[in-house]
């Protein structure tokens, strides 16, 4: 493939100056990644490695990209959602010579075209969020897949997809599940999704949350984060679930729990965070109150069935940015945010830099680990691999240090006690 370094396609290069300021703002709040950049720009462990990346182009991702480059990597990048690219950030990256193909509001055909452009770098490492890049390589460029030494995956649904591929024996190279790092899921998914989803809803509607019936579909790490932050804003949170333990947790946290068929009648605001398709469908829309607001914070846009809604509607118009008003044949109006795509990134800026700092420290360390294993001639199994406990605690300890916290240390006796089973009551 004819790769030309620094080739790019972005919305408008003139936005670069604004984008650079946003990136500098993010750098000031991502001390772990900046610490790693300082350390690894000396040794450049990624020199000679070519990374194709497919991850939301935000100010935080720009800090990750420029850290990978500082560590010696050649990088070519596309966004992992048609609506999540911040155009000024993309322009700033392009201006700095990064090969980037991303703009806000692309269609699905353009989305996959961008992914294909990044493959011209003939990557030997991939970095993914939702597994669309890995899936494209496996499906359309199997020869290229043979040359990839490994990849990393950012999100829950992407890891599930890759585990299914591995179970089928279809995975052609090892992938590290960044999502499953505790310093990722227990912070990014909970605090990040919680705050940024509310951010997206407020930017697209500016409604008062206090007193509203706020329906959260899915009480996993993301949904529980959203539920708790909505409750903190005074919303009356209702949780719908299919998993008894998750529903039980929601109930014991003090939230109302009921099926969507019942919640549809009383909800004012609905947000899906399940990773499953058809969570809100025709019969739910038919039950909803006039003025109900519906949105999604799951990775793919399949959780709200917009085809069903279109069948019920007699007209549709954009009433505010990222906010479409569907007028139903029965006269009721339903408002869909960000075209049913992830509202936190499409209608806001995604998670705050402070949590992405640790997620992306895991991405960076995992890419370095894959390169180091390759240099040592160590071949990982073509499967989904976990982040080590050691890496998790290392990243958490740097974060603590940058926040000025000190913690206790186990004494020799305590360490012995933990491993020794002879001491009883
Ligand atoms: N994701 C959320 N906010 C993001 C940001 N500011 N930059 C890049 C990606 C961002 C998506 C993550 O939550 C990802 O970890 C996921 O999808 O799980």
With a 6 Å cutoff on the Cβ, whether 154 touches ligand 1 is yes
| Closest approach atom of ligand 1 to CA 299 | 17
Asked whether the predicted pLDDT for residue 136 surpasses 60, the reply is yes
Does the pLDDT of residue 271 top 80, yes or no? Answer: yes
> Does 17 lie in the same domain as 139?
yes
- Which residues touch 344 (CB under 8 Å, ≥6 apart)? 192, 193, 196, 197, 199, 200, 297, 350, 351
**Statement to judge: residues 167 and 180 lie in one domain:** yes
Last residue of one domain, picked from the residues 346, 366, 381: 346
Residue-by-residue DSSP string for 290-320: TTEEEEE-SSSTTSB-HHHHHHHEEEEEEEE
Kindly state whether residue 113 falls inside one of the protein's structural domains: yes
Does the structure show a pLDDT above 90 at 421?
Answer: no
Contact 250, 229 (CB under 8 A): no
Cβ 10 vs Cβ 110: under 8 Å: no
* Residue to probe by mutation, ligand 1, list 27, 53, 60, most atoms within 8 Å of CB: 60
CA 255/CA 263 separation, integer angstroms: 13
How far does the centroid of ligand 1 lie from the alpha carbon of residue 61, in Å? Answer: 8
Task: Tell me whether residue 373 is in a domain.
Answer: yes
Contacts of 293 (CB under 8 A, 6+ apart): 201, 205, 207, 268, 269, 270, 334, 335, 337
For the chain, what is the mean pLDDT?
Answer: 96
Q: Would the CA dihedral through 77, 26, 388, 374 be positive or negative?
A: positive
Q: With cut-offs at 50, 70 and 90, classify the pLDDT of residue 3.
A: low
The CA distance from 76 to 13, in Å, is 17
Which pLDDT belongs to residue 419? 86
Q: Is 206 found in the same domain as 179?
A: no
> Which of the 8 DSSP states describes residue 238?
E
Beta-carbon contacts of residue 390 (< 8 Å; ≥ 6 apart):
none
Question: What is the arithmetic mean of pLDDT over 171-184?
Answer: 97
| The pLDDT value given to residue 4 | 66
Average the pLDDT over 130-147 and give the result. Answer: 96
End-of-domain residue from the set 346, 377, 411: 346
CA 284–ligand 1 middle distance (angstroms):
29
pLDDT tens-digit map of 77-107: 999 999 999 999 999 999 999 999 999 999 9
Residue 175: which H helix or E strand, with range?
strand 175-177
Q: Which atom of ligand 1 is nearest to the CA of 184?
A: 15
The CATH number of whichever domain residue 275 belongs to comes to: 3.40.50.720
Specify whether the backbone of 97 is left (phi greater than 0), alpha (psi in -120 to 50) or beta: left
Domain stops at, among 300, 315, 346: 346
Q: Is the dihedral of CA 10, 12, 16, 22 positive or negative?
A: negative
CA–chain centroid gap for 403, Å, is 24
Counting the structural domains of the chain, the total is 2
Could you read off the pLDDT of 319-368 as tens digits, one per residue? Answer: 999 999 999 999 999 999 999 999 999 999 999 999 999 999 999 999 99
**How far is Cα 170 from Cα 178, in angstroms, rounded to an integer?**
20
Sheet with 99-101, edge to edge strand ranges: 99-101, 74-78, 50-54, 125-128, 150-153, 175-177, 384-385
HSE value, Cβ hemisphere, 13 Å, CA-based, for 410: 8
d(CA 392, CA 203): 34
Best mutation site among 53, 89, 129, 225 for ligand 1, i.e. most ligand atoms within 8 A of its Cβ?
Answer: 129
Q: Are residues 84 and 115 in the same domain?
A: yes
Angstrom distance (rounded) from CA 314 to CA 371: 55
| 25 pLDDT more than 70 | yes
Clarify whether residues 117 and 26 are in a common domain: yes
Which of 33, 351, 361, 366 for mutating ligand 1's site (highest number of atoms within 8 Å of CB)? 351
**How much is the pTM?**
0.94
330 and 152 Cβ atoms separated by less than 8 Å = no
Return the bridge partners of 162, or none: none
pLDDT in the model for residue 318:
98
Same domain assignment for residues 366 and 320: no
The answer to whether residues 339 and 363 belong to one domain is no
Contact (Cβ atoms closer than 8 angstroms) between residue 212 and residue 235 = yes
Across the range 386-412, mean pLDDT stands at 95
The C-alpha atoms of residue 151 and residue 232 are separated, in whole angstroms, by 38
242-268 confidence digits (pLDDT tens): 999 999 999 999 999 999 999 999 999
In a domain, 310, yes or no: yes
129 pocket-lining for ligand 1 (C-beta < 6 Å): yes
Q: Are residues 19 and 139 in the same domain?
A: yes
pLDDT band at 238 (very low <50, low <70, confident <90, very high): very high
């Amino acid at each position: 493939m004819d790769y030309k370094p620094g080739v790019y396609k972005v919305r408008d290069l003139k936005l670069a100056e604004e984008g650079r300021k946003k990136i500098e703002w993010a750098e000031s709040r991502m001390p772990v990644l900046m610490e790693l950049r300082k350390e690894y720009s000396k040794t450049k462990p990624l020199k000679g490695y070519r990374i194709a990346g497919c991850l939301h182009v935000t100010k935080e991702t720009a800090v990750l990209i420029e850290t990978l480059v500082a560590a010696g990597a050649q990088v070519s990048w596309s966004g992992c959602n048609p609506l999540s690219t911040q155009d000024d950030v993309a322009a700033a990256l392009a201006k700095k010579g990064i090969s980037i193909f991303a703009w806000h509001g692309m269609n699905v055909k353009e989305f996959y075209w961008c992914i294909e452009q990044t493959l011209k770098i003939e990557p030997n490492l991939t970095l993914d969020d939702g597994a669309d890049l890995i899936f494209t390589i496996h499906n359309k460029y199997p020869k290229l897949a043979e040359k990839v030494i490994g990849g990393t995956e950012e999100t829950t649904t992407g890891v599930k997809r890759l585990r299914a591929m591995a179970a089928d024996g279809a995975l052609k190279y090892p992938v590290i599940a960044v999502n499953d790092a505790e310093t990722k899921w227990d912070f990014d998914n909970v605090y990040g999704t919680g705050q940024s989803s509310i951010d997206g809803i407020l930017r697209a509607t500016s409604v008062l949350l206090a007193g509203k019936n706020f329906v959260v579909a899915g009480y996993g790490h993301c949904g529980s984060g959203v539920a708790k932050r909505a409750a903190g804003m005074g919303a009356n949170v209702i949780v719908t679930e299919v998993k008894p333990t998750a529903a039980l947790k929601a109930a014991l946290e003090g939230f109302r729990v009921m099926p969507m068929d019942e919640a549809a009648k009383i909800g004012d605001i609905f947000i899906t965070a399940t990773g499953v398709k058809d969570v809100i469908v025709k019969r739910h829309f038919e039950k909803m109150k006039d003025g109900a607001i519906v949105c999604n914070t799951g990775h793919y846009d399949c959780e709200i069935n917009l085809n069903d809604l279109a069948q019920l509607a007699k007209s549709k118009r954009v009433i505010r940015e990222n906010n479409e008003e569907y007028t139903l044949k029965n006269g009721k109006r339903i408002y869909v945010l960000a075209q049913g795509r992830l509202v936190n990134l499409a209608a806001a800026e995604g998670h705050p830099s402070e949590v992405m700092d640790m997620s992306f420290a895991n991405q960076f360390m995992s890419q370095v680990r894959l390169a180091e294993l390759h240099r040592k001639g160590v071949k990982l199994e073509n499967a989904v691999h976990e982040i080590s406990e050691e890496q998790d605690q290392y990243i958490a300890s740097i974060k603590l240090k940058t926040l000025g916290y000190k913690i206790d240390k186990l004494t020799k006796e305590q360490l012995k006690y933990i491993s020794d089973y002879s001491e009883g009551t």
